Amino acid sequence: MTVSIEHPIETPPRAPSPVHGFGTLAVHAGAPHDPTTGAVIEPISLSTTFAQTAVGKPVGQYEYSRSSNPNRDNFEKAVAALENAKYAVAFSSGSAATATILQSLAQGSHVISVSDVYGGTHRYFTRVAKAHGVTVTFTPQIEVDIAEHIRDNTKLIWIESPSNPTLRLVDIRAVTSAAHARGVMVVVDNTFLSPYIQNPLDHGADIVVHSVTKYINGHSDVVMGIAAFNSEELRERLTFLQNACGAVPSAFDSWLAHRGVKTLHLRAKQSNANATAVADALENSCHVISVNYPGSDTHPHRHIALRQHRDGMGGGMLSFRIKGGRAAAERFCQLTKIFTLAESLGGIESLVELPSAMTHAGIPRDQREAVGVFDDLVRVSCGIEEPEDLVYDIEQALEKAVRETAHESNGVSNGVNGHAA
């Protein structure tokens, strides 16, 4: 049963347009000089508790670090500024941010999600949220059939754009317009692009979430998450749940992530340039079946990238299907010399992985393949190395992987589902 248009919601007013450019904000937002020493980089505040002059009267604004901490506060201010948001709440991981948002829904609530979603998010939606009475409907074409899926109890729509790992794009404005007309909030996971390339709140989303572990921190040494938004009511609800559940990042991790975000614009530009070069090489390779990269003119949603992304950038992530099936895909990941075979993404170093056996292994095969996650799909995260070195590494690994596996399998093809026919 669909909801009648009786309780539409309005997109909360966005934060004032920034006076300075992105790079200036990245360096200076949430970064006051220390008033005592004049230090231009904030000190790490490791104290778990803070003195009070009288009962219930702390010296400053802090009482206990689970509730708030100077490093966390400053990092949140920085990300809020970069996402054109009024507020941001940092969590101990991206998964903790997801869980807290879902926990904010009442029992019996219904959520609509894109089908090709991060494996950890899919796991939470299908195995954890259900346990506390929240059900999730997955759809591969959310802009097309959103109205058909909204029910009386639908409270939230979850979007990844680009999606993980097939790099499909969603028209955020189209979804938010339809959702808000029915009184439903929209969350966009912006991890794959970072605030530098896309700002979902500007397109009507209510909440934007990130795995800070990825592009925002950018150095593969922090596990964190963050949610940014413009609603005071959301801020109160999420900070209450966070404090109650304890899903908070450490002061040191907050300091590291704040350090990392200061160079986000520089890293994102280089990763984008590298991914563009790698995608071009893959599209021209006889060893590749197909390439998923939003920065390419061959991408089916290129028109959305041109509208939603800064300068039409495609970002630093891509995926492709290799000839030779899973055997060739696995061998390719073993043969790269600069790209490291590892999960995660968005760091300064380039990575490759096999989603069907790694990040998305927990999703049933038929569901994976229905959205294009075949056994021969390789996901690539381009770091900030030199593009010609990355292209050479990709090409030499492709050549060897396809040749070796073709010899071993006597030429058996991929088959329709990315495994041997």
Three-state DSSP class for 379? strand
Q: Which of 17-26, 142-151, 316-325 has maximum average pLDDT?
A: 316-325
Q: Tens digits of per-residue pLDDT, 244-274?
A: 999 999 999 999 999 999 999 999 999 999 9
Q: Given 116, 171, 189, 253, which residue is catalytic?
A: 189
Work out whether strand 52-54 and strand 57-58 pair parallel, antiparallel, or are unpaired.
antiparallel
Q: Given 86, 155, 168, 214, which residue is catalytic?
A: 214
368 is catalytic: no
**Residues belonging to the chain:** 421
Structure tokens at 111: 């959520």
Measured distance CA(132)–CA(139) in Å, rounded: 22
Measured distance CA(328)–CA(403) in Å, rounded: 9
189 is catalytic: yes
214 is catalytic: yes
66 is catalytic: yes
Task: Answer yes or no: are the C-beta atoms of 86 and 15 closer than 8 Å.
Answer: yes
> Is residue 334 predicted with pLDDT exceeding 60?
yes
Q: Given 86, 116, 118, 379, which residue is catalytic?
A: 118
Position 16 confidence tier, pLDDT thresholds 50, 70, 90: confident
Q: Tens digits of per-residue pLDDT, 220-245?
A: 999 999 999 999 999 999 999 999 99
Give me the residue label for tokens 């990941």. Answer: 333
Using alpha carbons only, how large is the chain's radius of gyration in Å? 22
Residue 215 has phi, psi (to 5 degrees) of -65, -35
pLDDT computed for residue 368 by the predictor: 87
Picking from 236, 225, 235, 237, the residue whose alpha carbon sits closest to that of residue 92 is 225
- List residues bridging with 225 in a β-sheet: 91, 211
Structure tokens at 104: 């904010």
Higher pLDDT, 250 or 410: 250
Q: Tens digits of per-residue pLDDT, 107-120?
A: 999 999 999 888 89
- List residues bridging with 111 in a β-sheet: 136, 156
Measured distance CA(288)–CA(291) in Å, rounded: 8
Measured distance CA(147)–CA(175) in Å, rounded: 10
Instruction: Tell me the whole-structure pTM to 2 decimals.
Output: 0.92
> Is residue 407 predicted with pLDDT exceeding 80?
no
Q: Given 14, 62, 66, 151, which residue is catalytic?
A: 66
Bond preceding residue 162 cis, omega within 30 of 0: yes
